[in-house]
A = this chain, B = another copy of it.
Amino acid sequence: MAGERTFRSGDDVGVLARLRERVDDVARRSPARLTLMVFASVIAVVTALLSLPIATASGDRAPFADALFTATSAVCVTGLVTVDTAVYWSTFGQAVILIGIQIGGLGVMTLASILGLAVSRRIGLTQKLLAAAETKTTRLGEVGSLVRVVLVTIAVLESALFVVLLPKYLLLGLSPGTAIWHAAFQSVSIFNNAGFIIEVGGLGAYVGDWWMNLPIIVGGFVGALGFPAILSIAGSWRRPRHWSLHAKLTLATSTVLYVVGTVVIGAMEWANPRSFGALPVADRILAALLAGGTPRSSGFSTVDIGTMSEATWLVQDALMFVGGGSASTAGGIKVTTFAVMVLAILAESRGDPDIEAFGRRIAPGVLRVAIAVAFVGATMVGAGTLALLVLTDLHLDVVLFEVISAFATCGLSTGITPTLPDSAKYVLVALMFAGRIGTMTLAAALALRDRRRVIRLPEERPTIG
């Protein structure tokens, strides 16, 4: 018996060891592929849980397309929904969504931070892991402590949001248990820029409520900066000169885009009687302050996007496409990608040989990564839009909006997602997954294959433009 047990136990250890070795192997060869597999697995589990009858309020089994869509939207912290989160799902279903958001946001942030640092240092995770194996945990310990810092920061910031929101929900008259549940859900949803809400009837009732809106605006902005930027800024809070170039660039671009978004959307909707025009002036200002930031990140909205003008949709399309910071809970091509391209154009127009920002020269290779990210992003959006135009009878304005919202994991909607055929829902699922995983995986894959050629070909300049 003992011998048999030992044998079995040894066998189990063998299987586990082999599995761990397998994971290590994938991680060593391609951390990007590992991220992708982890994400797909989490989405599969959340889909399975949301497919249980107890996950819905009615007790009926959710259709597969809706379960998959909601799971992907949660884990990819998007916020697009085919069914009303507040009404369709049971508290169990909502809890599954919350956990999906937290794992999705957490996983992406920690993994993306590691990958992001790997990319930015031009040292692949492979090399890091190998180095750690050689030097016995020195460097791997570094990675481990980074993850620990990230987890602590998430806990601190989400707790802060919770503490601010809980009294609000209690004042609204909810029972303590319900208030705690709502404050917890909202805190996680805000910090992870998920855009899911469990308020029945949506946020429309809170359009003029500063207590409800400010946490969304501030929490979403901070979450959308991304961990490399947050840690750099938090690390030397009082000395902005010591912040990394990445942190400075992210904060500056995010701020400029937030101000531009707020002013432009506010101005364009100010007199629209179907949207802001129907509100008192103070509420219009708050609605603009919210609407200026959420396209780039959380996708929360107190005013129905469907009532806004097509011109505003186009501005939101642009903001969503740019998105938030690298290794953040926001999506899009990222503010640094946008900033590097703008700086490159400014440098070119001035005839400067170098791209510069904040007293630093930006390595020319960075520009190539930026173009790859932006171009591949535009191609994904184009292909997704084409697919939805073919699959539905909808027009370009609403299709482009929903496709960019999915790709940029923003979650704003003109309202078409619930009406889409399953085929179109699957296209959005693919876009959310690719948008969340894509550019980061690409960046990682690019930096990890730093193969150099020995022979350089003769140079020639084709005419451009």
**A→B interface (CB under 8 Å):** 116-117, 119-122, 228, 244-246, 249-250, 268, 309-311, 313-315, 318, 326-327, 333-334, 336-337, 339-342, 344-345, 347-354, 356-357, 359-373, 375-376, 382, 385-386, 389-390, 395-397, 400, 439-440, 442-443, 445-446, 449-453, 456-465
A456 to chain B, nearest CB (A): 6
Taking the closest CB of chain B, its distance from the CB of A241, in whole angstroms, is 13
A465 touches B373 (CB 8 A): yes
Contact B367 A367, beta carbon cutoff 8 Å: yes
Q: Within 8 Å CB of A357, what residues of B? A: 462
Of B120, B327, B345, B354, which is within 8 A of A371 by CB? B345
A463-B246 contact given A349-B372, A457-B354, A458-B361, CB 8 Å threshold: yes
Task: For A311, give the chain B residue with the smallest CB separation.
Answer: B389
A-B contact sample (19 more), CB < 8 A, given A334-B464, A345-B376, A351-B452: A116-B463, A228-B463, A244-B460, A310-B395, A314-B389, A314-B396, A315-B386, A326-B465, A341-B375, A349-B442, A349-B449, A353-B453, A360-B458, A363-B461, A366-B462, A372-B465, A397-B397, A439-B465, A443-B465
Q: Are A457 and B368 in contact (CB under 8 A)?
A: no
Contact A370 B326, CB 8 Å, known A389-B310, A459-B360: no
Whether A340 contacts B462 in the complex (CB less than 8 A), given A345-B372, A348-B446, A350-B451, comes out as yes
- With a cutoff of 8 Å between Cβ atoms, the chain B residues found around residue A250 in the complex are 462
Query: Do B396 and A120 touch (CB < 8 A)?
Result: no
Shortest CB-to-CB span from A228 to chain B, Å, is: 6
Binding site secondary structure of chain A:
helix
Q: How far is the CA of A395 from the CA of B398 in the complex (A)?
A: 10
Q: Which residue of B lies closest to A245 (CB)?
A: B460
Task: Decide if A326 touches B356 in the complex (CB within 8 Å).
Answer: no
Inter-subunit contact B463/A120 (CB<8 Å): yes
Known A-B contacts A120-B463, A360-B459, A361-B456; the reply to A449 vs B350 at CB < 8 A is yes
Residues of B within 8 Å of A364, CB to CB, are 364
- Kindly report which residue of chain B lies nearest to residue A452, judged by CB atoms: B353
- Indicate if the CB atoms of B464 and A337 lie closer than 8 Å: yes
Complexed CA–CA distance, A336 and B464 (Å): 6
A465–B345 Cα distance when bound, in Å, is 18
**Assembled-state Cα–Cα distance A249/B359 (Å):** 37
User: Which residues does chain B contribute within 8 Å of A365, judged by CB atoms?
Assistant: 353, 461
- 30 pairs, A vs B, C-beta closer than 8 Å: A116-B463, A117-B463, A120-B463, A121-B461, A122-B461, A244-B460, A245-B462, A268-B390, A310-B395, A311-B386, A315-B386, A326-B463, A336-B462, A337-B465, A339-B462, A340-B464, A344-B371, A345-B375, A347-B368, A349-B442, A349-B446, A351-B451, A354-B453, A354-B457, A356-B457, A363-B459, A364-B364, A366-B464, A373-B465, A397-B397
Contacts of A362 in B (CB 8 A): 459-462
B457 & A361 in contact (Cβ 8 Å cutoff): yes
Which of these, B318, B356, B451, contacts A352 with CB under 8 Å?
A: B451
> How far does the alpha carbon of A352 sit from the alpha carbon of B311 in the complex, in Å?
41
- Inter-chain contacts of A313 with B (CB < 8 A): 396
Q: How far is the CB of A286 from chain B (nearest CB, A)?
A: 24
A268, A339, A342, A348, most chain B CB atoms within 10 A: A348
Query: Complex: how many Å from CA A249 to CA B462?
Result: 8
A313-B452 Cα distance, complex, nearest whole Å: 42
With A353-B453, A372-B344 in contact, is A336–B116 under 8 Å at CB?
A: no
| Residue from A119, A396, A400, A449 with most neighbouring chain B CB atoms (10 Å) | A396
**Are B463's CB and A336's CB within 8 A?**
yes
Give the docked Cα–Cα distance between A400 and B310 (Å): 12
Which listed residue, B333, B382, B459, touches A318 by the CB 8 Å rule? B382
- Chain B residue numbers with a CB within 8 Å of A361 are 456-460
CA distance A339 to B463 in the complex (A): 11
The chain B residue with its CB closest to the CB of A444 is B465
- A439 proximity list for chain B (CB < 8 A): 465
Q: Nearest-CB distance from A68 to chain B (Å)?
A: 25
Q: How far is the CA of A375 from the CA of B363 in the complex (A)?
A: 20
A350 contact set on B, CB distance < 8 A: 449, 451
In-complex Cβ contact of A440 among B314, B459, B465 (8 A) = B465
